[in-house]
């Protein structure tokens, strides 16, 4: 699959954090979609082509883990990166069982986040991140 413009779905109940992540990825050539909660994220993934999901763990309505499990039911290959301010061994184990690509701590640095996103895109789609150079 040739992936020229990756489409990222950023899901977090904190609007300022969503916009911060948009500001990191759009100047690097990514297309971003934003969701304020898990239900909205599931609807977006069902309606549109999404190449990667950044997903907060602690949200109202559906948690990040619940969303991850729902998305796996209809797209087993979609790379999903969980973000959490409060993570522990239980969360890591649950994320691995649900096949999350990675779990990153919040606050997360822009470099760590972009490197992880690029690794997920390379591994899943054989994407070349020369656009980021």
Q: How far apart are CA 39 and CA 77, in angstroms?
A: 20
For residue 109, being part of any structural domain is answered with yes
Query: Which H or E run contains 42?
Result: helix 38-47
Tell me, yes or no, whether 2 lies in a domain.
Answer: no
Domain-located, residue 63: yes
Residue 89: give the domain boundaries.
Answer: 7-132
Q: Are 56 and 100 in contact (CB under 8 A)?
A: no
Predicted local distance difference test score (pLDDT) of residue 42: 97
Q: Distance of alpha carbon 116 from its chain centroid, rounded?
A: 10
Cα dihedral across residues 83, 87, 88, 93: positive or negative: negative
| Tens digits of residue pLDDT in 100-120 | 999 999 999 999 999 999 999
> How does pLDDT run across 44-85, given as a tens digit for each residue?
999 999 999 999 999 988 999 999 999 999 899 999 999 999
Q: CA 111, 40, 113: angle at the middle one, nearest 5? A: 5
The kind and range of the H/E element at 70 are helix 64-74
Count how many domains the chain has: 1
CA geometry: angle 87, 22, 131, nearest 5 deg? 105
Per the domain annotation, does 25 fall within a domain?
yes
CATH number at residue 83: 3.40.50.2300
């Amino acid at each position: 699959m040739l992936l020229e413009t990756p489409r990222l779905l950023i899901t977090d109940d904190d609007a300022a954090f969503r916009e911060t992540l948009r500001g990191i990825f759009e100047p690097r050539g990514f297309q971003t979609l934003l969701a304020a909660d898990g239900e909205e994220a599931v609807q977006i993934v069902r309606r549109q082509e999404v190449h990667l999901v950044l997903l907060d763990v602690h949200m109202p309505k559906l948690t990040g883990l619940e969303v991850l499990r729902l998305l796996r039911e209809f797209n087993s290959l979609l790379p999903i990166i969980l973000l959490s301010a409060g993570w522990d061994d239980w969360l890591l184990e649950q994320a691995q069982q649900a096949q999350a690509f990675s779990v990153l701590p919040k606050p997360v640095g822009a470099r760590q986040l972009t490197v992880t996103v690029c690794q997920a895109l390379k591994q899943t789609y054989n994407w070349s991140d020369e656009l980021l150079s």
